[in-house]
Structure 1
């Protein structure tokens, strides 16, 4: 891992323009690792041109803003992709236009699309890996509260506020160091959990319409009619994937949202119930306890549900 970090830094040092990408449908770790790396490199190399690109997600704009880069800038640029397991999920496919592509990620290595691939599946988040890089190069003294804030939010997001099984002693040690910087973490966490008041009736729908089975499996189906009824977008509906997470006896759950051309299924589980193998079987992927799959009919959704429930027998 240290050798890969050294190789990545050599590439960064030898390029004047660096463009940082992350995955589509971003989460706090996608934003946190991407912006954390950008802010860190701007401090370490103030004369370089460093950009972070991708479509903005309104619910995450409090973390930071992204840059707009013209196509011609890529020709002489080094591209770094954070927190993205496979190439089709990279937000802004212009990432292939760069001189070289570096991948930094913590998802299972299903697609080594980078010229250098730094993948640590033991890390709680890609934000944790970015901090490990900072530490590896003895650069803790040069980072500021902007770096600390976004990396902290990335770690908090992917660990479910340190409730998920990917939280380790190392994770907590890093979080403790980041909390030593003067940002208001309580205010930031409140922003992370806040939802638009107009979405609250939809949360009520989820609570009234989840399907819970005796084996500990639960599912939520969000059809196009439901989205229209509550006047919300598919990406807004996806914010409620963990609405059922506190149900007693829950082991595995699936949240499916009809996006028109596909039904996006978010799979979640607790403890020893590994689900990313099922996700892989259906053309998706992700972490052992948090994965995603796209299916193309509710019948296929039901087949996916059956496969998940096999884990509980």
Structure 2
């Protein structure tokens, strides 16, 4: 069992008890772990009789919209003034599932200006230092798992109700690909079991998250695999590339390409997969790997990004054709490591 530093827990408990305006936030393009962590903590604080506000830099996928009180999350991209006011008035700010201001993108300046004491709870490597309390452990499966540990060790698991449990379970489930990677610690499954004991119905959560996509999203996936997949067996690598026109053709919504980058890793012999998605002014780069080849290092070297060893993200500031061509040159350069 992971033991969080007692002095940090005591400092955190003191900060919570003395705060009047608590805000919980997470990274840009929040995924299941981000939203699950935010809501899991929100419901736990509520069970303690403590009110908090939740803000995100932008919206989140529709398949997370069923989570209890997700409609109370305020998006900076939709209501900039409201979020800035909340951050200005905050005296305690929880930063979940990100370890540096750049991960909140346009909301970064408002976050920096907030006078609140900042608390980091995160599982990504190499956290930056603008946090007053930094609870960072890379060995856990997800930030949701770490949030559970913080709640249990600070206040006891009794305050985790169904609403908190189903949120945290969703975070763990989505960040491990339904317990298929980054989850080889016994404690991860122990925590999942404790959350299930709170009333979480596994089949129901699976269905709400993974069987709740639009027809357009399904057709976009088919198009991606049939028309936009490039495989490089000699380098044990593959990529998918989607232009703005491709996305518009299938009426792309936030979260529609979630998980696409993992599909090429199902191909025999492929250990490295990259998804290029065209945005306004840049190309979003999602990287996944298996084994010892580090997606994190690759992202840091070439895409101004980072993340975990086998899951990372970044950006490319070039055309799509240039991005794909560069990728082909880079995997040729790293072919020895890819074939090790």
Could you tell me the TM-score, scaled by structure 2's length? 0.85
**Equivalent residue for 2:79?**
none
Shift of 1:110: 3.9
Alignment pair present for 1:244 and 2:244: no
Q: What does residue range 219-238 of structure 1 map to in structure 2 within 5 Å?
A: 219-233=239-253, 235-238=255-258
Mean Cα displacement is larger for which, 271-280 or 62-71?
Answer: 62-71
Helix, strand or coil: the match of 1:53? strand
Q: Is there any run of 5+ residues in structure 1 with no aligned partner, and where?
A: none
Helix, strand or coil: the match of 1:79? strand
**Equivalent residue for 1:260?**
280
Alignment pair present for 1:302 and 2:325: yes
Helix, strand or coil: the match of 1:114? coil
Aligned length: 311
Bigger proportion of residues as helix: 2
Mean Cα displacement is larger for which, 135-144 or 81-90?
Answer: 135-144
CA distance in 1, matches of 2:269, 2:98: 32
CA offset digits 1:182-230 (Å, max 9, x no partner)? 1322111111113111222211112213111113201011112322333
CA offset digits 1:96-146 (Å, max 9, x no partner)? 314221111100124222122111111111111111112212511122111
Helix, strand or coil: the match of 2:239? strand
Q: What does residue range 1-313 of structure 1 map to in structure 2 within 5 Å?
A: 1-2=4-5, 3-44=7-48, 46=49, 48-54=50-56, 55-57=58-60, 58-63=62-67, 64-68=70-74, 69=82, 71-73=84-86, 74-90=88-104, 92-93=107-108, 94-96=110-112, 97-194=114-211, 195-209=213-227, 210-214=229-233, 215-233=235-253, 235-282=255-302, 283-297=304-318, 298=320, 299-308=322-331, 310=334, 311-313=337-339
CA distance in 1, matches of 2:85, 2:71: 22
CA distance in 1, matches of 2:9, 2:126: 17
What value does the CA root-mean-square deviation take over the aligned residues? Answer: 2.0
Shift of 1:239: 4.6
Shift of 1:244: 2.8
Mean Cα displacement is larger for which, 101-110 or 119-128?
Answer: 101-110
CA offset digits 1:252-285 (Å, max 9, x no partner)? 1001001121100100011222220111123101
CA distance in 1, matches of 2:156, 2:254: 40
Mean Cα displacement is larger for which, 151-160 or 181-190?
Answer: 181-190
Shift of 1:304: 4.2
CA distance in 2, matches of 1:31, 1:120: 19
Change over 3 Å in CA distance of 1:56–1:32 after alignment to 2 = same
Change over 3 Å in CA distance of 1:222–1:134 after alignment to 2 = same
Contact 2:127 / 2:136 at 8 angstroms: preserved in 1? no
CA distance in 2, matches of 1:211, 1:72: 46
Helix, strand or coil: the match of 1:273? coil
Change over 3 Å in CA distance of 1:109–1:7 after alignment to 2 = farther
CA distance in 2, matches of 1:33, 1:187: 19
CA distance in 1, matches of 2:254, 2:195: 33
CA distance in 1, matches of 2:16, 2:264: 43
CA distance in 2, matches of 1:167, 1:66: 34
CA distance in 2, matches of 1:188, 1:11: 33
CA distance in 2, matches of 1:307, 1:9: 48
CA distance in 1, matches of 2:9, 2:24: 16
CA distance in 1, matches of 2:64, 2:151: 24
